[in-house]
Amino acid sequence: RHSQRFAATLAADLDTGWGSSIRRLQCIDVHAEGEPARVVVGGLPHIPGGIHDKRALMMKPPLDAIRKLLMTEPRGYPCQNVDYVLPPSHPKAAFDIIIAEQNCIYPAMSGHNMMCVATALLETGMVPMMEPISEFALNTPAGLVDVQAECSAGKAKRVLLRNAPSFLQPENMDVEVDVPGGIGKVRL
């Protein structure tokens, strides 16, 4: 109910320029070894709720229009990703992060996107940089991701991630797979 009311209000705001003035999105283009990401650090409307509520709202019109605006021509291109930096909903997180990709895909987590976000946050001072090592956490729909960045001369030189825990349930274990190329059956 609350999200429906929020979406209706936001739709009206988007139709009128998001209020009485034109909305300006603040974006930083970053790459991790050539993989691009456009990190949105400001200008988004307030998006209420926890990380899963935020992700769900970003996936629906009218907010999905922001993804399209930033990822398609003339501002984007087929390999473009967008990362939304939002206020944290987890007490241990510096920020909540929502990742958007082409074709209305909002993955729970992406390594290269988290590296790009960490770099942008550190190099803009949104997360205080501590040399030689900066440590903080980012909240994603997959869970909390710990970040450790090697920093020097105001730059993030290397970013290491400890991803959210993942697991297989017992019924998903002990699977036999037929591997092509002469390898044959392999039990996992």
Number of Cβ within 10 Å of residue 84's Cβ equals 26
Residue 53 structure tokens:
């509520």
CA distances from residue 8 to 31, 62, 84, 167 in whole angstroms, order as listed: 35, 9, 21, 38
3-state secondary structure of 93: coil
Known active-site residue 166:
no
C-alpha distances out from residue 185 to 178, 179, 182, 188, Å: 4, 6, 9, 10
Three-state DSSP at 11 gives helix
Listed in sequence order, the residues at least 6 apart from 104 whose beta carbon sits closer than 8 Å to its beta carbon are 59, 64, 67
Rounded CA gap, 51 and 54, in Å? 5
Which of 110, 134, 152, 166 is catalytic? The answer is 110
The values of phi and psi at residue 91, to 5°, are -65, -25
Active site positions, annotated: 110
